[in-house]
Amino acid sequence: MSGIPARRVTRLLEQRLLSVVAAATAVILLVLFYYPVATVFADAVLEEGGFTLDPIISILTNEFYLVDIIWFTAKQAFYSTIASLALGLPAAWLFSRFEFPGRETLRSLTILPFVMPSIMVAIGFVATFGRNGTLNRALSVVGLPPVELLFTLEAIIVAHAFYNAPLVARIVTAAWESVDARTVETARSLGANPRRAFRDVVLPQLLPSVGIGATLTFIFTFASFPIVLALGGFQLATIEVFVYSKVRDLAYAEAASLAVIETVISLTLTAVYLWYEANQRAAGGAASPLPRQSVLPADWTPKAALRTVGIAGYGIIIGLVFIVPIASMVLASVTGGDGGFTLSHYAFLVERQATGASFQVKPLPAIWNSLVFAAGTLLVAVPMGVTMAILTTRQYRGRGLINVLSMAPFAVSGIVVGLGLLRGLVFGVDVFGTRIRVTGTLAIIAAHSVGAYPFVTRNVAPLFSRLDGRLVESARSLGATRTRALLDIELPLVWTGVVAGAAFAVAISIGEFDSTIILAEGSGSYTMPVAVERFLGRRLGPATAMGCVLLVVTSMSFVVIDRFGGRGEL
Amino acid sequence: MRRRTFLKAAGASGASALLAGCTGTGGESTTTEQSGGATGTTTTQGTTTGGESPTLTIGTYGPFVDTVSSSPGPWLKDQFESEFDATLKWQTPDSGVNHYIERSHRGVESGADLYVGLDAQMLVRIDENLDGELFTPTEGLSHSGDVNEELEFDPKGRAVPYDTGYVSIVYNETLGDDGAFTAPKTFDELLKPEFEGTLLAQNPTSSGTGKAFLLHTIDAKGEDGYLDYWAKLKENGVRVLGGWEPAYNAYSKGEAPMVVSYSTDQVYAAESGEDMAKHQIRFLNDQGYANPEGMATFADAANPELATEFMDFMLRPEVQAEIAVRNVAFPATTTAELPADFAKYAHEPPEAVTFSYDRLKGNLSDWTDAWEQEFASK
């Protein structure tokens, strides 16, 4: 008897699950994103209570801001996007089309640059590409003249590729792996050669994901700031550098105006991209992925040999851009002031853990907090992201707007969100005479989820839009609820995208800095990247040791996600 | 005052209603805090009620309490607590003193009793952005007479200096073409071709050392000449990074033979047994820019008497010596007894340069804005 109401409740919940998650998403977005951002942007358009466009106009009519700053920012973002695609697409090809030992693990680790604190990347790049760096030492061994790469536009672009090529690779790999082999077989059986089959069948299915990778890379590098300052210097300042600088100077009207201009450009691009994506519908499922080939060909035809040489050459470039900077950091963590081997930096971490004062940063709580926040973000951001993916691939009026609004967390700079949180929710907002404050663990997880869920959405939505709508319809006509159809039919078909999105969610959470440090205000809620920054000083050692701890802990998390998620059955 | 009375009355019922409304969303944690009376929230600060020992809450910048090598914070806490019947609580907001300016803007109590780590530039920023008083003038310090008069930087008597650093050039002798680099002696010499691409500096808008170096060039070249000087510096390949840490890290990787840093650099180097040839000090024009650090009591401090006692404690000879060693800066008083090693490795410039509060007020942001536009993105 008692089982029936319970089943009814379950069924009711099942019917309403999507709406409930969507409503929760909207509330979290409003409280932790739109409200804080609005409070900052208000500074740009409000003056003594009245509406004004003066601050924005004065920037747009200033040749210095327009040409030297905004145009330069767009230019470096464009070059960075090209470089990231050039470096990331071959990786996607390798991961999705080839079989080699350690492929799975390597693929899991491609996301690692995302969690590397930018200061660590800067240190690694100086050690690799600097005057006395690895590259110049290697060049001098083979008798080539040294290159001056640091403090140039090129240095910024290479560093941006380090951060964003893995993003491109991961998103495109997920799409490539969900291409149905049968569609290619059909084309081949109809007489298309492999190149033609790729161009007409595979490429159209990959283009949306390439577009996402390129759009995201442009937006991120458009809002780049620590890397620009660390590797380019102030000569090559971007908009974001100026936003930060104005915030420090409490010149909020100017900071907000610059941020508004930055956001409008990013959001416009996003909207243009989403419009393109919506017109890129291709039918097909993902039941049987394309078979993978071995890296080493079975028989050495000239063509196969050329391909293997190409892959090897790519491997060398990858090594230089990705592995050497990270290896330099690992090396620095075991090198003493005199250049010899030492474990004293790790000993410092142990000592700090044992004897540090309560108000000092310790390694173990940092690890623990990072993992707790990441797990929380995973639980919140994945349902949020999947729900938004469903909402944005359905047909209804205003879908485009919802789509752009749900992507907005990408397009607004971290400094603006951080400042908005600080000025509003952290200090408290008077609502009907009560001061409401939002801080603590749950707030941090919610803020991380706001930053992370669009990744889930962008990884999953293209796959959703490619699903055959009739599958869901027939399931529903057979009596399945919307949620049941989602869990049993749709999710297994888009699972590669969900796993890729989940890995991003964890990476965003672990790497996030601005809102973490603001929402953790004065409490013990510091994370691993915060600890890295705190341990920086005259001697690099302790910070690099903490950086290595960050690398090890997060590498393990990513491998676990990919392995666990890779099973694919829900 | 009327607003506060209303808040007090309406507070409790509003709180519970909103809590109920928010807990269902599953996302954010919502804590409520009633806006208290005129003296500030009593929930966040210890007070002397009920015989418990009071809490002294001190805001400061992170490295003052938490660096890898040594910072005065933990030692000061132990010493102060062992002598006074009080608990010392450090607060290190990420945005430093801006945090308290922002709170004041928002009508929130400062939540601390005093701030440690003020300089003249910050006071200017505070006074240009706030109508009310964030800090209160300091009176009744028994050691105030010991403070080196030249270091006093607040004409309104709020901030009391407790130490000072001199911003100078640090250079690496081993990085010359023939293994012997010597830094230029004057600002003019720095423009010579032989020093092309040799200096790492910091962004004056985001870094203390960067700001000090910019002000030093304004002092040397005048308000009319400094932009021209920086244009030439840029032509000669000076690199301006975001802050002291990235610049110093690049310097220690041998990226450039000179960096804008502090004249106490050798104290650290000696501690870790490094080669002194890589930590040479140069005072351009035989001057160093003095950047004294001060402390001041918040106007809304919950424990102003205790704050005054702490400030007096900071100025004692033995405490001054300890701060100097642990913070690697010079003491602010004339009575500190420094260890011999410190005197050996900490260099004082023949002449100290510093801009007074009055000189900075009304000018500072114009100077840095003009510098930004001159220097960025070319």
Most A CBs within 10 Å, among B43, B56, B203, B249, to test the A interface? B249
Sequence spans of domains, chain A: 11-48+354-569, 73-239+316-341
SS3 A59: helix
- The pair phi, psi for residue B289, each rounded to 5°, is -85, 120
- Rounded Cα distance, B269 and B249, in Å: 14
Two domains, one topology: A11-48+354-569 and A73-239+316-341 = yes
Instruction: For residue range A120-160, list pLDDT tens digits in order.
Output: 888 889 888 988 888 888 899 999 998 888 889 999 999 99
Q: Does domain B3-164+291-346 match CATH 3.40.1180.10?
A: no
| pLDDT score recorded for residue B8 | 37
Is residue A2 predicted with pLDDT exceeding 60?
A: no
Mean pLDDT lowest for which of A345-359, A474-488, B10-24? B10-24
| pLDDT score recorded for residue B377 | 63
Q: Do B241 and A229 touch (CB under 8 A)?
A: yes
Instruction: Judge whether A70 and A223 are in contact, CB under 8 Å.
Output: no
Bridge partners of B258?
Answer: B171, B199
Chain A residues whose beta carbon lies within 8 Å of the beta carbon of residue B250 = 126, 130, 150
Average pLDDT over residues A290-319: 86
Q: Which amino acid is at A84?
A: S
- Please report where in the chains the tokens 């499922």 appear, as a residue: A285
| pLDDT score recorded for residue B25 | 35
- Rounded Cα distance, B362 and A120, in Å: 38
| pLDDT score recorded for residue A214 | 94
Question: Computed from CA positions of residues B244, A329, A106, A319, in that sequence, does the dihedral angle turn out positive or negative?
Answer: positive
Q: How far, rounded to the nearest angstrom, does the alpha carbon of residue A104 sit from its chain's CA centroid?
A: 20
**Chain B nearest CA to A523, separation (Å):** 9
- Rounded Cα distance, A507 and A558, in Å: 8
Residue A237's contacts (CB-CB under 8 Å, 6 or more residues apart) are A69, A72, A228, A229, B372, B376, B377
Span(s) in chain B for CATH 3.40.190.10: 3-164+291-346, 166-290+356-376
| pLDDT score recorded for residue A75 | 95
Average pLDDT over residues A301-306: 86
Q: How far, rounded to the nearest angstrom, does the alpha carbon of residue B221 sit from its chain's CA centroid?
A: 25
More reliable by pLDDT, B230 or A486: B230
Instruction: For residue range A250-265, list pLDDT tens digits in order.
Output: 888 999 999 999 999 9
| pLDDT score recorded for residue A509 | 94
CATH number corresponding to A11-48+354-569: 1.10.3720.10
How many CA atoms lie within 13 Å of A443's alpha carbon, on the beta-carbon side?
A: 26
Is residue A401 predicted with pLDDT exceeding 90?
A: no
Chain B residues whose beta carbon lies within 8 Å of the beta carbon of residue A423 = 102, 106
Q: Residue A229: name the closest of A121, A84, A324, A136 by CA.
A: A121
- Rounded Cα distance, A244 and A246, in Å: 5
Is residue A86 predicted with pLDDT exceeding 50?
A: yes
Option in B14, B30, B69 nearest A433 (CB): B14
Please state the CATH superfamily assignment of the domain spanning residues B166-290+356-376 in this structure.
Answer: Periplasmic binding protein-like II (3.40.190.10)
Chain B residues whose beta carbon lies within 8 Å of the beta carbon of residue A69 = 376-377
| pLDDT score recorded for residue A296 | 79
Instruction: For residue range A443-460, list pLDDT tens digits in order.
Output: 899 999 999 999 999 888
ipTM of this predicted complex? 0.85
C-alpha torsion B43→B49→B51→B57, nearest 10: 50
- Rounded Cα distance, A532 and A231, in Å: 19
Is residue A271 predicted with pLDDT exceeding 80?
A: yes
- Rounded Cα distance, B117 and B38, in Å: 27
Q: What token pair was written down for B98?
A: 């801006």
| pLDDT score recorded for residue A4 | 60
Please state the CATH superfamily assignment of the domain spanning residues A73-239+316-341 in this structure.
Answer: MetI-like (1.10.3720.10)
SS3 A436: strand
Dihedral-angle region of residue A398 (phi above 0 means left; psi in -120 to 50 means alpha; beta otherwise)? left
Q: Do A427 and B103 touch (CB under 8 A)?
A: yes
Q: Do A235 and B377 touch (CB under 8 A)?
A: yes
B 273-292 residues with CB < 8 A to A: 273-274
**Residue-by-residue pLDDT tens, chain B, 378 positions:** 333 333 333 333 333 333 333 333 333 344 444 333 333 333 344 444 456 789 999 999 989 998 887 899 999 999 999 999 999 999 998 889 999 998 898 888 999 999 999 999 999 999 999 998 999 999 999 999 999 999 999 999 999 999 999 999 999 999 887 778 999 999 999 999 999 999 999 999 889 999 999 999 999 999 999 999 999 999 999 999 988 988 998 898 889 999 999 999 999 888 878 889 999 999 999 999 999 999 999 999 999 999 999 999 999 999 999 999 999 999 999 999 899 889 899 999 999 999 999 999 999 999 999 999 999 865
Q: Do A132 and B129 touch (CB under 8 A)?
A: no
- Rounded Cα distance, B340 and B332, in Å: 18
Bridge partners of A180?
Answer: A289
pTM, 2 dp:
0.86
Instruction: Judge whether B100 and B110 are in contact, CB under 8 Å.
Output: yes
Residue B15: closest C-alpha in chain A? A434
- Alpha-carbon separation of residue B148 from A41, A82, A294, B293 (angstroms): 46, 58, 76, 12
Q: What token pair was written down for A115?
A: 């969690």
